[in-house]
Amino acid sequence: MKIMVGVNTLTSVDRAVYSNHCQFWFRLGRKMPEVDFLLNHPYRMSIDNMRNMTAKVAIDNDCDYILFIDDDVLVPVDCLQHLIACDADVAAGWTVIRGYPFKNMFFKFTDESKLNLTNYDEGIKFNDKGLIECAAVGFSCALLRVSTLKKVEPPYFVTGPYNTEDIYYCMKLLAAVPEAKIVVDPGILTSHNLGSEYLDPLSRIAYKVYSEAIDPSLKVENEKPQVISKNHDEPKDGTPTYEDMLKRNF
């Protein structure tokens, strides 16, 4: 197996992220010696250009997967093994957007037209493998199958005035391959750098409450509560429990 790794390092990396990523790379080499890894981390390049460059290098080198890791995200050291196990065209970890109100960085269609997306923040459902099936995901920690990517016309990633490059790819992928599988593994909890602080699915409510206390005008009246999913109390077979997620990641 051959995996192309793309990291969008703009200028520098936070110390905690650097340490986490060093551990991650070390574990990859130690636990997966049979995999041939290639690394692309260009300097001061826009994120869509970086992703397109990574895709081209992956195709030119007959890679099986592209692994995208952002330079402001902490990842579980075993996340790659779990992403591969998802057996999806796009598989991502659970990442939270690092701006108020800290919504999930994965999305679902709003209606049958499949033209509009909304953050998947409530009513989260798990399939029989314990995965969250989505219309689109962010690529802070994501694995893309190259054989599927080849079915999409380049450019694969474009940042627009109303879209990010990762959502662009997911929508373009589904247009080209309607049966493509895009999922989030809820057991892969990432942490988004907030400067000197980190945001993850377990701390987002605390940051939301804090932000509303600082600026009460942010609070939305009668807003439905976020559920990280306490339906984990009675999980289906194979669905990770809340406690399982904690044990795996911390």
DSSP designation for 154:
S
Average pLDDT, the chain: 89
In the structure, what pLDDT confidence band is assigned to residue 209 with cuts at 50, 70 and 90?
confident
pLDDT for the residue numbered 248: 58
Q: What CATH number labels 2-249?
A: 3.90.550.40
Give percent of the chain above pLDDT 70.
Answer: 88
User: 10: exposed, middle or buried (C-beta count within 10 Å: 0-12, 13-18, 19+)?
Assistant: middle
pLDDT tens digits, 100-122: 899 999 999 998 888 899 999 98
Amino acid, single-letter form, for residue 112: E
What are the helix (H) ranges across the chain?
15-31, 47-60, 79-85, 146-149, 165-176, 204-214, 242-249
pLDDT tens digits, 221-249: 656 554 444 444 444 555 555 566 555 55
Sheet holding 191-193, edge to edge: 73-74, 191-193, 198-199
Q: Is the peptide bond before 161 cis (omega within 30 degrees of 0)?
A: no
In the structure, what pLDDT confidence band is assigned to residue 210 with cuts at 50, 70 and 90?
confident
Q: Which of 35, 147, 44, 39 is nearest to 88 (CA)?
A: 147
In the structure, what pLDDT confidence band is assigned to residue 151 with cuts at 50, 70 and 90?
very high
> Mean per-residue pLDDT for 157-177?
96
Q: Which residue has the higher pLDDT, 112 or 21?
A: 21
